[in-house]
Amino acid sequence: GQQVMQIPQYQHVQEGEDFTTYCNSSTTLSNIQWYKQRPGGHPVFLIQLVKSGEVKKQKRLTFQFGEAKKNSSLHITATQTTDVGTYFCAGFKNSGYALNFGKGTSLLVTP
């Protein structure tokens, strides 16, 4: 079945450094979504990418969807302590209406 792989598992950066997490699927995705989960919190939707090669920005966050629609990345410029949390990518399962989450990348930002 479809698998969504995500790397790295953990990332520890100093405040102000950049951060990138990568997501790869074994099959072509119709779209990909990104969620952020703060420690002790619940997943919060960040963005959805649909088109091949799509790039979207939200302030310091840049999201990319690969040309083949099998990979995606989230890049954070100049991290802040508020960026701490786990970032999940998610694609739809073959059943169509359920998300298949990557394992997540846990980001720690130290001042």
Partner 1 sequence: DTEVTQTPKHLVMGMTNKKSLKCEQHMGHRAMYWYKQKAKKPPELMFVYSYEKLSINESVPSRFSPECPNSSLLNLHLHALQPEDSALYLCASSNPARRGKSLTDTQYFGPGTRLTVL
**What residues make contact with partner 1 under the rule CB under 8 A?**
30-31, 33, 35, 41-45, 48, 50, 88, 92-93, 95-99, 101-104, 106
Query: What distance in Å separates the CA atoms of residue 80 and residue 49, rounded to the nearest whole number?
Result: 24
- Could you tell me the smallest distance in angstroms from the CB atom of residue 16 to partner 1? 26
Centre a 10 Å sphere on the Cβ of residue 77 and count the other Cβ atoms it contains.
14
Q: Which is nearer to partner 1, 30 or 82 (CB)?
A: 30
- Using alpha carbons, select from 67, 69, 97, 93 the residue that is nearest to residue 2: 93
- Could you tell me the smallest distance in angstroms from the CB atom of residue 12 to partner 1? 15
CA distances from 99 to 14, 15, 43, 57, 76 (A): 32, 32, 13, 23, 24
Q: Which is nearer to partner 1, 70 or 77 (CB)?
A: 70
Q: Which is nearer to partner 1, 22 or 92 (CB)?
A: 92
Q: Which is nearer to partner 1, 95 or 111 (CB)?
A: 95
